[in-house]
């Protein structure tokens, strides 16, 4: 029986040692490679089908490629990874199921919409820190075309998109966690609860997710007794420009000004003017690839010392949308620190 040194506040966990991120990899599509962060990613896949016959298989191929690259970067082999925490946006997680079967690693399939990278890191960090595994892998992917097919319209239909809509990132990020090595540790987590403000616009998911992001960030501040200035950056997943504005307003109404240190992976990954991506990038692969390719290197180089990373998810399906349901949000917080 252990004591409760891990638990802080209502929902957060602090890690005395902090599992280390000992390997990371990002693989993205052509459009992401042409964006402002293009140079940051490990691999840019020129073929949107990734050599496969359909979009879902293409996304599976992204997962497999990213997983193997991350394992290689960590200096491990597949059989040394005890558990895999992975997910995607597709119904019944088929990108994950078919993408990870060859790894032969026991897998926990996760669904947190675009917050899945955060969910995977939260769970993986707890499992490694407690000694349940020497090494685990956390991974999340999305693919523009498989997501459009899943949630919106066939690409061939050529529908118009409102300016509040986001552009699903084709990409995958994978992370190896271990107890030694690496330069960045997960020092704490704040798993999020579902927040439903009754918003129903699936073409404005930033607005749907902003309240959940606000809830998790405020919870993190409260649980750890911190202020915005305790973080070099506070980085959400894919709120986009519409959601960012709402988040900053919500945070101010809660007494916190994070406008000087807020960053959103969805805003960073595309050039809004030249890439026609409207509110910004989205999808589980967005925050996962940006974490692997851009955020972690900034921590490794000591440009940033401590970052709050909050992937954000909009919980809807085409069924729930067609039934007129709202789009609840969820956001999981991960505190990353330079060792």
Give me the residues that bind its own copies (CB under 8 A), please: 1-7, 11, 13, 17, 53-54, 56-57, 82-83, 87, 89-94, 97-98, 100-101, 104-113, 119, 122-123, 126-127, 129-134, 149-150, 179, 191-196, 315-320, 323, 325, 328, 330
Q: What is the DSSP letter of 157?
A: G
Neighbours of 227 (CB within 10 A): 12
Element (H, E) at 220: helix 205-224
Q: Which is nearer to its own copies, 193 or 245 (CB)?
A: 193
Rounded Cα–Cα distance for residues 231 and 18 (Å):
17
Residue 201's nearest CA partner among 248, 166, 169 is 166
Least separation, in Å, of the C-beta of 274 and its own copies?
32
The minimum distance between CB 92 and its own copies, in angstroms, equals: 4
The CB-of-35 to its own copies minimum distance in angstroms stands at 26
Nearer to its own copies, 216 or 244 (CB): 216
- If the CB atoms of residues 211 and 266 are measured against its own copies, the closer one turns out to be 211
Shortest reach from residue 191's CB to its own copies, in Å:
4
Residue 329 has a CB neighbour count (10 Å cut-off) of 33
Helix (H), strand (E), coil (C) string for 39-65: HHCCEEECCCCCCCCCHHHHHHHHHHH
**Nearest-approach distance from CB 275 to its own copies, in angstroms:** 27
Q: Coil, strand, or helix at residue 296? A: helix
Give the residue with the Cβ less far from its own copies, 274 or 318. Answer: 318
SS3 335: strand
DSSP 3-state of 233 = strand
Q: Which is nearer to its own copies, 226 or 325 (CB)?
A: 325
Q: Which is nearer to its own copies, 82 or 261 (CB)?
A: 82
| DSSP bridge partners of 28 | 44, 171
Answer yes or no: are the C-beta atoms of 329 and 237 closer than 8 Å. no
Min dist CB 48 to its own copies, Å, is: 17
């Amino acid at each position: 029986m252990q004591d409760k040194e891990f638990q802080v506040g209502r929902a957060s966990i602090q890690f005395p040692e902090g599992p280390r991120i000992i390997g990371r990899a990002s693989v993205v599509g052509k459009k992401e490679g042409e964006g402002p962060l293009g140079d940051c990613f490990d691999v840019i896949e020129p073929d949107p089908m990734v050599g496969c016959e359909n979009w879902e298989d293409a996304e599976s191929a992204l997962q497999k490629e990213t997983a193997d690259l991350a394992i290689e970067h960590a200096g491990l082999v597949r059989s040394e990874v005890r558990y895999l925490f992975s997910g995607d946006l597709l119904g019944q997680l088929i990108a994950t199921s078919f993408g990870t079967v060859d790894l032969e690693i026991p897998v926990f399939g996760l669904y947190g919409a675009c917050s899945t990278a955060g969910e995977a890191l939260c769970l993986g960090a707890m499992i490694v820190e407690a000694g349940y595994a020497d090494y685990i892998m956390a991974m999340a992917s999305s693919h523009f075309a498989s997501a459009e097919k899943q949630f919106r319209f066939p690409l061939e239909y050529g529908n118009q998109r409102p300016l509040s809509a986001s552009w699903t990132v084709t990409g995958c990020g994978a992370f190896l966690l271990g107890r030694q090595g690496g330069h960045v540790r997960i020092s704490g987590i704040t798993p999020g609860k579902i927040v439903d403000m009754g918003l129903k616009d699936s073409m404005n998911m930033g607005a749907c997710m902003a309240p959940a992001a606000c809830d998790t960030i405020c919870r993190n501040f409260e649980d750890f007794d911190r202020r915005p200035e305790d973080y070099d950056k506070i980085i959400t997943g894919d709120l986009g420009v519409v959601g960012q504005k709402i988040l900053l307003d919500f945070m101010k109404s809660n007494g916190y000004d994070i406008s000087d240190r807020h960053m959103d992976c969805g805003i960073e990954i595309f050039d809004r003017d030249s890439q026609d991506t409207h509110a910004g990038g989205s999808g589980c692969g967005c925050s996962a690839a940006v974490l692997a390719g851009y955020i972690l290197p900034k921590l490794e180089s000591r440009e940033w010392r401590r970052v709050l990373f909050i992937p954000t998810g909009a919980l809807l399906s085409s069924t729930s949308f067609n039934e007129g349901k709202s789009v609840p949000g969820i956001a999981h917080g991960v505190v990353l620190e330079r060792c």
